[in-house]
Structure 1
Amino acid sequence: MKIDARSTARTLAEIGKWRGVLLYGDDLGLIRERAAQCVRLVAESLDDPFRVAVLDQEQHGRIEEEIGALSLIGGRRAVWVRDAQDAVLARVTAALQIESDTLLVIEAPGLASRAKLRAALDAHPKIAAIGCYPEEGRTLIASLADLFREAGIAVDRDALFWLSSVLGADRAAVRSEVEKLVLYAGESGKLSLDECQECIGDSAGATLDDATSAAMAGDRAVADIALERALADGLSPIALARACLSLMTRLLRVLDWMDEGKSRQEAVKMLRPPVFFKKVDSFTKALERWDRPGLVRACEAVQGFELACKQTGSPDLALSRRLIAQLCLGPRSFQR
């Protein structure tokens, strides 16, 4: 059964009521985290050899055998299938016909929307099919707040906004940085914006924020290096588009305040979350290079870039490099 995004948290918390779960999508870190959550809820462990069977791609032939096996020490078992694609459909179908209370957890990163495995399990009444896609915007902020709340750490709202803008969308990377901040804050601690920037400022150096801010400031060398690092880390071109639009929106907001009579310095200080101190120079250069018409045309171009990247077979990496090159050239590259 396909699970709506709004029902995902409740479904995962009650996964013991289901026969199995299919986790698919583009965020491998989120898929792995949710799979571990399901296994732990049912088997009470991730590495108990009597209650947990982890099947990598070369072990998919054992799915039916493991589903039918009994725990020698009692308790419900979990079969954790990784890197699943359409090739496992026949074995999964056969396994679900076996009378068993074993939970079947299937990780299927990158599974196509028209894949036979997804179609079959979307329609299965006892399987929860859950999409796992990179979080952004309010969804990412809410997830960050939940992670800190679980750890008993209070975080200022400005800090959450800033973290959502620099951590990117990969769940594994986000959790890693959150764990670092939790350790920094200490038991029942509290984190301010300054403390978050001090703690992870350096580790956020190779994010999309570097590529977009350098490109808007006209620094081609820094922008290209940052983009290639992001691409090597599995950058989603859609995330690049959102990062560009976020920065452009902030620049337009500053121009609005300047039109109202504020000085450039006053307008920049009014931004929330504030500009990261290491990015103040590039943000100021961008303000000097871009006027309102140029920013509006660039926003339209970025929206077109995002749409093109969503087309089947799109050369999205090449389009990402071209977009950064255009931004480095400035407003003249977006003239109608």
Structure 2
Amino acid sequence: MKITAARIKNFLAKPDAGIAGVLIYGPDQGLVAERAEALAKAIVDDPSDPFRTASITGAALKQDPARLADEAGAISFAPSGGGSRRLVRLRQATDDAAPVINDYLATATTDALVIADAGSLGPRSKLRKLFEKAKNAAALACYEDGGQALGQVISETLGRHDLTASPDARAFLAGHLGSDRAVTRMELEKLALYMGRPGRVELDDAMAAIGDSAATSIDAVVFAAASGDAPALDATLRRAFGEGAQPVTVLRAAARYIMRLHRAAGLVARGRSPTDAMKMLRPPVIYLHQEMFAAQLRQWGSNELSRALDILLDAELACKTTGMPANEVSGRALLRISQAARAANRRSPISRQGGRG
């Protein structure tokens, strides 16, 4: 069965008694790890206890398919004398594991819980469909934090250090964090260490603590592409890749930014001023970027932004499936965005207004 977002917290704290296997998957591997650990602690007090737990990799299971049932069927030697469920962690699972897990679930008891973690799995994934459809299994997805979820992580993490954030600081954090839960928490802990004492985090504080991360280089790439500045795009893209930025990460950052422009363009088309549109976005555009964002908003139309988003999504798919050099694929896509921005800027305001229809 699928575990919906509204049910995840309760499920992790107290998984259904009849569940023998849980798949935790998604692009946010930090969140996958965090949720898998939370679920493990709901089963055993110490997930590292060798008498109560076992760990198998997807590669090891492929070499020895019988190991899953053997580990799940082993007797748990709890300090109190037994009686508690055994925990089996299946790490880095792929579709190759689906037949083995299917056979296991067909005869599994609830004496053990198998927690499988995996990366991104599409709707057609054999592994994902197995856990979603089996009566004694469950699947929950871990996507990038955004909006309310990211805001909650920021508030909770800073709150543990008696810190709050100004609106601009919160908007900056929301714009630079969220792609990986573990990285988000690490960066927020770094910010708390930078602050050194309880209080209010201002924009300058957030930029000083987090602004030197790879996210800043990626931002520069995105801003250059959306503004139609090809020379700046070339320079910033070289720097970002040189600092270790991944092509798919850059493409996703660009897609998120284009989507924000698209939402704002829709608000303007319905009669809002650019300033009001920027304030209505969540998170709102921070004041340092408002002039640039407003200029891009005047430059792009909704239809053009939709086409730009298609270019970015197609490029991400090509990076994952074609075998072509991902740096080149992403670079060409961003150059097309830059060219589209320059073309949009050359059009008259009348034609751009028509493009928003």
Query: Is 1:25 paired with 2:34?
Result: no
Is 2:98–2:126's contact at 8 Å kept on the other side of the alignment? yes
Is 1:326–1:333's contact at 8 Å kept on the other side of the alignment? no
Q: Percent identity?
A: 27
Query: Is 1:43 paired with 2:57?
Result: no
Q: What are the Cα deviations for residues 78-132 of structure 1, in whole angstroms up to 9, with x where unaligned? A: 1110111233233323433243422210012133322222222111223221011
- Would the alpha carbon gap of residues 301 and 93 (structure 1) be closer, same or farther in structure 2, given more than 3 Å must change? closer
Where do 5+ consecutive residues of structure 1 fail to align? 261-266
Query: Is 1:325 paired with 2:335?
Result: yes
Q: Which moved more, 1:179-188 or 1:32-41?
A: 179-188
Q: What are the Cα deviations for residues 262-304 of structure 1, in whole angstroms up to 9, with x where unaligned? A: xxxxx9xxx944245xxx6xx757767x572545564233233
- Would the alpha carbon gap of residues 120 and 329 (structure 1) be closer, same or farther in structure 2, given more than 3 Å must change? closer
Aligned residues: 320
| SS of equivalent residue, structure 1 residue 15 | coil
Query: Is 1:300 paired with 2:310?
Result: no
Counterparts of 1:235 and 1:161, CA distance in 2:
20
- Structure 2 counterpart of 1:167, from 169, 172, 177: 177
Is 2:265–2:297's contact at 8 Å kept on the other side of the alignment? no
Pairwise CA distance, 1:64: 0.9
Query: Is 1:220 paired with 2:233?
Result: yes
- Would the alpha carbon gap of residues 10 and 306 (structure 1) be closer, same or farther in structure 2, given more than 3 Å must change? farther
| SS of equivalent residue, structure 2 residue 154 | helix
Amino acid at match of 2:256: R
Is 1:166–1:207's contact at 8 Å kept on the other side of the alignment? no
What does residue 14 of structure 1 align with?
14
Pairwise CA distance, 1:330: 6.5
Amino acid at match of 1:85: T
Counterparts of 2:122 and 2:291, CA distance in 1:
43
What does residue 135 of structure 2 align with?
125
Counterparts of 2:217 and 2:187, CA distance in 1:
13
Counterparts of 1:222 and 1:206, CA distance in 2:
14
| SS of equivalent residue, structure 1 residue 50 | coil
Is 2:218–2:240's contact at 8 Å kept on the other side of the alignment? yes
Counterparts of 2:248 and 2:275, CA distance in 1:
40
Counterparts of 1:49 and 1:77, CA distance in 2:
10
- Would the alpha carbon gap of residues 80 and 333 (structure 1) be closer, same or farther in structure 2, given more than 3 Å must change? same
Pairwise CA distance, 1:139: 3.5
Counterparts of 1:152 and 1:16, CA distance in 2:
35
Is 2:248–2:316's contact at 8 Å kept on the other side of the alignment? no
| SS of equivalent residue, structure 1 residue 202 | coil
Pairwise CA distance, 1:68: 0.7
Is 1:50–1:71's contact at 8 Å kept on the other side of the alignment? yes
Pairwise CA distance, 1:3: 1.4
Counterparts of 2:32 and 2:169, CA distance in 1:
26
- Structure 1 counterpart of 2:89, from 57, 64, 80: 80
Root mean square deviation, CA, Å: 3.8
Is 1:16–1:103's contact at 8 Å kept on the other side of the alignment? no
- Would the alpha carbon gap of residues 117 and 215 (structure 1) be closer, same or farther in structure 2, given more than 3 Å must change? closer
Query: Is 1:68 paired with 2:73?
Result: yes
What does residue 249 of structure 2 align with?
235
Counterparts of 2:127 and 2:262, CA distance in 1:
41
Amino acid at match of 1:50: F
| SS of equivalent residue, structure 2 residue 115 | strand
TM-score scaled by length of structure 2: 0.73
Q: What are the Cα deviations for residues 145-203 of structure 1, in whole angstroms up to 9, with x where unaligned? A: 34444665433343222111112512232122122123334576543333222211112
Amino acid at match of 2:20: R
Amino acid at match of 2:14: E
